[in-house]
Amino acid sequence: MGAPPVPTAERALARPPAAADRALARPRRRLPAAVAALAALVAVGAVMLVTLATPAPRPADAPTDEFSAGRAYRTVQTIAARPHVAGSAANDQVREHLVGALRGLGLETEVQDTVAPEAGQLSGAAAGATLARVRNVVARIPGSDPTGRVFLVAHYDSVQTGPGGNDDAAGTSTILEVARALTAVPRPRNDIVLVLTDAEEACLCGASAFASSHPLAADGGVVLNLEARGATGPVIMFETSRNNAELVDVFGRAAPHPVGTSFAVEIYRALPNDTDFTAFLDEDFAGLNSAYIDGGAIYHTPLDTPAAMDRGSLQQHGDNALGLARELGRTDLKALRSGHDATYFPAPGGLVRYPGWLTLPLALLALVAVAALGWLAVRRGRTTGWRLAAGFGLGLVPLVAAPLAAQLLWAGITAVRPGYAELLDPYRPTWYRLAVVASAAAILFTWYALTRRWAGPAALAIGGLAWLAVLGVLLAVAVPGGAYLATLPALAGALAGLVALASRVDGPMPVVAVTLAGAVAVVILLPTVVLLFPALGMAMGGVAALFAVLLGLAALPVVDLLHPQAGGQRGLVALRARRLGALPAVAAAVAAAVFAGVGLAVDRFDAAHPAPTHLMYALDAGTGQARWLSHEEDPQPWTDGYVDGMVSVADDFPGLGDGELRAGPAPAANLPAPKLEVLSDTGAAGGERTLRLRLVPQRSVRLASLHVETAGLGSAGVTAATAAGRPVEIEKRHLDGRWWGLVFHAPPAEGIEVTLTLQPRGGQVRLRAMDASDGLDALPGFRPRPADVGVVGSHSSEMLAVARTYPL
């Protein structure tokens, strides 16, 4: 009895692609074309990497009208000689140097000394409001016929754990050098205002003070904010104000080294991150925010020294800032607000940009073009409808598998090297980044080798383009600035496929067309893969892997040129072809393992690259109880000697954070708690009670806080508050926990006057006063870190907090 008949659709999927795909396959002697196509894509990739490279730093004797990293670096060395947190004597010295340098340029310079609230979303740790005393340095280069003002902004304070050689001595020194270059030539048409802010690291309070209350900011303007979150890499323009098309056009033509993408802007808008630029956006300024971000392992640590700085990055900061200041200095600033955002990305020779309103039409066009390619490929007999459906379904496999493999790879690496979990990125991340890219390539090549003979190259290539086109439409709707990443490669690939179908199979045009489409994908997607690694860190390496796979899918026709052909032959020839087709997958898999292994071998923790640890000390001066606290989830051996359990800091230590931290008993130090003086206490029984208080630190501290218990015995509802004469906003979300309060950074020695209007829920109200300084070395029971153990970048690292509860 014969075998049962196989349905037509199943036969189409089961049979080898002999008839259909031999028509699309190239002649077996296609090695020269394959090598040429691959060489072309490699050359394009090399050009793109050069486009992202930093310029050579100019020496200190460069012409006076140019930016010199050599001259600016001298300022970096002065500013970042030691940590200089807001309110410290070291920060006072930095400020005096800046004022002297600006006045030395002949500029009228002032210090804005005021109290200001925070900007952004940083008050979660306070369970209430955050303020600071700030002293901003402000200077102005008056314009000859102003149409508005251009503001060059950077912060001059550092974190408590590091000198801030990059963050943000880079931005501050850049502004001083740009100011020198601008004063060396005739003055610009528009006012150029130099704003060096204070207390950015604490709460963005300096920028908040300037943007909301300084007379020079009253009419708004255009802001160029300069930052750094690392030590090297290209300067990326990563954030803009809304309706940025005109500003992006200025950036594209005026910045000598324009690196920026509309996708980065979309990502940053979605992240809970803030810089001084946030305060200006809150006041409806227009502007651009730029930073270099690679080398993030030193961010906010003692290793962020001038010596760690890549002066090429500093040169790029300065070249771009000077070019933009000159262009904006002569532009009619009133015309810079357009009605839409732009789509833009770097390319050889500059910045490609087009109106954002084209995003969705282009995405739909790409989808239609891919559909037309699929329809025509079926009509021409190059594939079948069932194969196309299979190719589309199979295309999801590498899109899911590569990011998953990247995350699993990183989980394995951090299991071997757990200290990485506390770093923004490894000290030497290149090998790990290569491992992620190689693992993505291994998955893509393996997938292609296993499915090519069954589904056929045409179906797989069109299926890959279909995923790009669908993703382009989804991005156009949800994340418009990132849609180009999928739309343009899909459109280029579809057009190349249509050209190939209209040309002789054995002619040069198919190879030329798919190579050009692959080049478009490389130009668009390779920089994204490169920049995503430092932007998101290795902990999110799966995102870079996803875009690496998208690049691979867009380049599948070129990949197929390299695939050995067995034609219609069987037996040994076909077997050898399949084995040769698996070689790229095996090579990529071996490369991924080698790269990861080399990374673990070379990126060891040592004295120059210490393992990060977090530790702080909290003392209740009323009870004499003290604790060591750490936010390390998997404590390093050094930290493990201090902590042995968990504690809810939101309940027991308000002002030190929210959630739970690891804790351990500590000896009580002989340190005074802040004093809480009652200046007046008024209110009727059963009604509102108004307390006027003075919170006075009894030692030199970085911050002070006052919290009101709002749940339990001795609790009260807070209906109004002022601090240092400023009204404090009462947000309902901060009244839901056990405490409500405020944190005051850089408190004056005479203390802070606070007025609270309360609705008591009992006979007494409990208030908890706390202040915090930095440095654990003199504490009893503290064991100094070994040479290969360092301090993690954190605003609470090394904090020494003393608190006392006052029942009133």
Structure tokens belonging to residue 13 = 């999927």
Give yes or no for a contact between 626 and 664, defined as CB atoms under 8 angstroms apart: no
Q: Is position 63 within any domain?
A: no
Find, among 649, 473, 669, 453, the residue nearest to 566 by Cα. 453
Nearest to residue 549, comparing CAs of 486, 482, 459, 642? 486
Return the pLDDT at 653.
79
Domain boundary among the residues 544, 566, 596 is at 596
Residue-wise pLDDT tens digits, 56-115:
999 999 999 999 999 999 999 999 999 999 999 999 999 999 999 999 999 999 999 999
CA dist 190 to 222, 228, 333, 433, 741, Å? 11, 27, 8, 44, 43
How many structural domains comprise the chain? 3
Kindly state whether residues 81 and 185 are assigned to the same domain.
yes
Collapsing DSSP to helix, strand or coil, 22 comes out as: helix
With residue 42 as reference, give the H or E element that holds it.
Answer: helix 31-51
Residue 88 falls within a domain, yes or no?
A: yes
Distance of CA 403 to the CA centre of its chain: 19
Whether residue 546 is contained in a domain is answered as yes
Torsion of CA 796, 797, 800, 805, to 10 degrees: 30
Length of the chain: 808
Cβ-in-10-Å burial (0-12, 13-18, 19+) of 730 comes to middle
Distance CA 740, CA 128 (A): 5
Q: Which two tokens stand for residue 4?
A: 């049962």
- Compute how many other C-beta atoms are within 10 angstroms of the C-beta atom of residue 380: 14
Helix (H) or strand (E) holding 695: strand 689-696
Whether 610 maps to a domain, the answer reads no
How far is it, in rounded angstroms, from Cα 111 to Cα 136? Answer: 5
φ and ψ of 260, to 5 deg:
-175, 150
336 pLDDT band, cuts 50/70/90, is: confident
One domain, residues 330 and 364: no
The answer for residues whose C-beta is within 8 angstroms of residue 396's C-beta and 6 or more apart is 467
Quote the CA–CA distance of 220 and 212 in Å, as a whole number. 10
Q: Which of 565, 596, 627 represents a domain boundary (last residue)?
A: 596
Q: Could you please report the per-residue DSSP string of 351-406?
A: EEEEEGGGHHHHHHHHHHHHHHHHHHHHHTTSS-HHHHHHHHHHHHHHHHHHHHHH
Query: Would 721 be classed as within a structural domain?
Result: yes
CA distance 8 to 6: 6
pLDDT digits (tens, 9 = 90+) for 162-215: 999 999 999 999 999 999 999 999 999 999 999 999 999 999 999 999 999 999
| The dihedral sign for the CA sequence 499, 500, 504, 507 | positive
Q: Under 8 Å CB-to-CB from 295, ≥6 apart: which residues?
A: 230, 231, 232, 233, 308, 310, 425, 534
> Are 88 and 47 contained in the same domain?
no
Reported confidence tier of residue 581, pLDDT bands at 50, 70, 90: low
Residue 554 in contact with residue 519, Cβ under 8 Å? no
Spatial neighbors of 364 by CB under 8 A, at least 6 apart, are 473
What CATH number corresponds to the domain at position 714?
2.60.40
Asked if residues 456 and 21 have their Cβ atoms less than 8 Å apart, the reply is yes
Contact 508, 399 (CB under 8 A): no
Confirm whether 641 is domain-assigned.
no
Assess whether pLDDT exceeds 90 at residue 578.
Answer: no
Report whether pLDDT(424) > 60: yes
Query: Is residue 643 included in any domain, yes or no?
Result: no
User: How much is the average pLDDT of 323-335?
Assistant: 95
Measured CA to CA, the distance from residue 619 to residue 404 in angstroms comes to 44
Q: Pairing relation of β-strands 766-774 and 799-807?
A: antiparallel
Distance CA 229, CA 698 (A): 35
Q: Are residues 29 and 84 in the same domain?
A: no
Q: How many CB atoms lie within 10 A of CB 216?
A: 16
Q: Mark whether 112 and 147 lie in a shared domain.
A: yes
Edge-to-edge strand list for the sheet holding 716-723 = 675-683, 689-696, 752-760, 716-723, 726-727
Instruction: Name the pLDDT band for 563 (thresholds 50, 70, 90).
Output: low
**Rounded CA gap, 102 and 171, in Å?**
15
Q: What is the pLDDT of residue 6?
A: 38
Residues 681 and 745 in one domain: yes
Residue 157 binned pLDDT confidence (cut-offs 50, 70, 90):
very high
Q: Which residues pair with 144 in a beta bridge?
A: none
Euclidean distance between CA atoms 790 and 282, whole angstroms:
37
The domain that holds 210 is classified in CATH as 3.40.630.10
Q: What is the pLDDT of residue 684?
A: 63
CB 236 within 8 A of CB 536: no
Q: Region 528-541: what's the mean pLDDT?
A: 96
Task: Provide the pLDDT confidence category of residue 125 given band limits of 50, 70 and 90.
Answer: low
Averaged pLDDT, 372-395:
95
Amino acid at 320: N
pLDDT tens-digit series, residues 222-232: 999 999 999 99
Residue 567 pLDDT greater than 60, yes or no = no
User: Which residue, 534, 564, 596, sits at the end of a domain?
Assistant: 596
Both tokens of 150, joined, read 């251009």
The band of 564, judged by pLDDT with boundaries at 50, 70 and 90, is low
pTM of structure: 0.92
Structure tokens belonging to residue 463 = 């299926």
Sole residue written with tokens 């000598």: 256
How are beta strands 222-228 and 752-760 bridged, if at all?
Answer: unpaired
* Average pLDDT score, the chain: 91
- Residue 80 forms part of a structural domain: yes
Q: Which two tokens stand for residue 490?
A: 């899909």
The pLDDT of residue 739: 86
Q: Who contacts 359 (Cβ-Cβ below 8 Å, separation ≥6)?
A: 343, 476, 480, 483, 484, 487
Specify whether 327 is located in the same domain as 265: yes
Rg for the chain, CA atoms, rounded:
30
Percent of the chain with pLDDT over 70: 92
Quote the pLDDT of residue 633: 87
Lowest average pLDDT, out of 473-487, 582-596, 646-660, 733-747, goes to: 646-660
Selection from 417, 332, 366 nearest residue 600 by Cα:
417
**pLDDT band at residue 121, thresholds of 50, 70 and 90?**
low
Give all strands (DSSP E) within 529-606, no chain letters: none
pLDDT of residue 345: 97
Do 283 and 404 reside in the same domain of the chain? no
Decide: residue 126, CB within 10 A, 0-12 exposed, 13-18 middle, 19+ buried.
Answer: buried
Mean per-residue pLDDT for 625-637? Answer: 92
Burial of 4 (0-12, 13-18, 19+ CB in 10 A): exposed
First to last CA, the chain: 98
Given a cut of 60, is residue 683 above it in pLDDT? yes
In this structure, of 191-205, 262-276, 540-554, 560-574, the range with the lowest mean pLDDT score is 560-574
- Between CA 427 and CA 410 the distance in angstroms is 15
395 in the same domain as 267: no
Q: Do residues 333 and 373 share a domain?
A: no
Amino acid 734: pLDDT:
63
Q: 394 and 334 in one domain?
A: no
> What pLDDT is stored for residue 453 in this prediction?
86
- Closest to 315 measured CA to CA, from 178, 416, 441, 150: 178
> What is the span of the domain harbouring residue 442?
17-51+356-596
**In the prediction, which pLDDT does 701 show?**
97
Task: Give the mean pLDDT of 308-319.
Answer: 98
Is the domain of 35 the same as that of 96? no
Whether residue 391 has pLDDT greater than 90: yes
In whole angstroms, what is the distance from residue 72 CA to residue 65 CA?
14
- Give me the pLDDT at residue 195, please: 98
Q: What is the pLDDT of residues 656-680, one digit of tens each?
A: 877 789 999 999 999 999 999 999 9
The pLDDT assigned to 11 comes to 37
Percent of the chain at pLDDT above 90? 80
